[in-house]
Amino acid sequence: MDNKTNILMQRYDLGRLLGQGNFAKVYYGRNLATGQSVAIKIIDKEKILKVGLINQTKREISVMALIKHPNVLQLYEVMATKTKIYFVLEYAKGGELFNKVAKGKLKEDIARKYFQQLITAVDFCHSRGVYHRDLKPENLLLDENGNLKVSDFGLSALAESRRQDGLLHTTCGTPAYVAPEVISRKGYDGAKADIWSCGVILFVLLAGYLPFHESNLMDMYRKISKAEYKCPNWFPPEVRRLLSRILDPSPYTRISIAKIMENTWFRKGLDQRDLRASIEDKGKNPLNADIAFDLNECCSGPSSETKLEVPKPTNFNAFDIISLSTGFDLSGLFVRNDQKEEVQFISKKSAPSLISKIEEIARRLKLKVMKNEGGVMKLEQPNDCRNGTVSIDVEIFEITLSFHLVEVRKSSGDTLDYLKVLQQNLKPALTEIVWAWQGEQQQ
């Protein structure tokens, strides 16, 4: 904190740092009026303005204000100064569920309790037209009583995000937890994609490790697309059967949340009161499709700080942050171990425009252009390389309608020849369509 005092806006006493990311820090806080413990997420406005996280910021605030459920982390209020944005959140004293799993597999009844709470929370989100799209143990927190809290809605999508085909089309999430149809980039049902992620989480809770894990991202995607996994011998038969229906590579035949809730293994020891509360609250506070929050109004006046109480969801607005600049590193969504033989960049051009431009560049550089069924463009350098043909894969990932991540990697040939082609020919030519290279220092 830059403030000399630890009192925030005469309302909260700021304490220790709980965690931090690229654009925000989270502190422990205490409400001075009530003594209630809270978590305060402090976002650096300048960084957000630079990277143009317009939709993500709107989404996180609007979704968290909309979803009120005992197993979803609550957003109490939003405040802002000229340089900072503050989310005042429910404090989850127990930390991440991931920390428990990192120590090893959980007992069956404990794993089931967390899975029950996860499913009821996700079901409630879906009833509001909200799809999380990044469910994983790191985004599941625990309160002081050990109750699960779904958090981090930065990658969530509202029902209004669907295109005319009724499907979502943004590739996002954490690779090991992502459903096959999300990877295929042909459109997907957000609810069915979340169900798959819940299945991966259930496996992790009971096994202590991931069902799909490969050092090579493409190898892992192939296993995910075919649901190639093996249950450890301590999994009960009923869990194996349930997982086979959740981790079904076809979203059309994958089990629904309603059917999961009817499953006998799932219902053991279920707190029926929580389930009833979740079901009975459906339909209240209809989703507002017109989300807009003018940040300039709250921060451009004579006052240096403004408190924005979270209004009712039907009237809720989100931040309208308008600015684009370089430095938004999305490569973490598609991390690979062999980074030396690949480069990634962000472009603001459309996918068809990118394909057309890359084909034009390839012809100019006398590279042979081919396409395969997986949507990967192949470029080949003729045999004038010292060790034969160098083959280069170019793959485009849609992050949002405005952003695409393009990955360029060697698929075959000599590494030194590939690097020469990449550094001396391809990278300079690609500059005209690059907005920001990933992992490189921006000017």
Q: Which residue has the tokens 């654009």?
A: 23
The dihedral through the CA atoms of 216, 218, 221, 225 has a sign that is negative
Would you call 294 a catalytic residue per the annotation? no
| 66 Cβ contact list (under 8 Å, min separation 6) | 128, 130, 285, 287, 313, 316
Residues 6+ apart with CB under 8 A from 132: 122, 125, 139, 150, 153, 155, 156, 194, 197
Distance of CA 283 to the CA centre of its chain: 26
Length of the chain: 443
- Of the candidates 123, 134, 329, 417, the residue annotated as catalytic is 134
Contact 410, 428 (CB under 8 A): no
CB 51 within 8 Å of CB 41? no
C-beta neighbour count of 231 within 10 angstroms: 16
Residue 148 main-chain phi, psi, to 5 deg:
-75, 145
Annotated binding residue at 41?
yes
Picking from 409, 393, 399, 422, the residue whose alpha carbon sits closest to that of residue 349 is: 399
**Which residues contribute to the annotated binding site for ATP?**
41
Pick out the residues of the known binding site. Answer: 41
Q: What residues are annotated to the active site?
A: 134
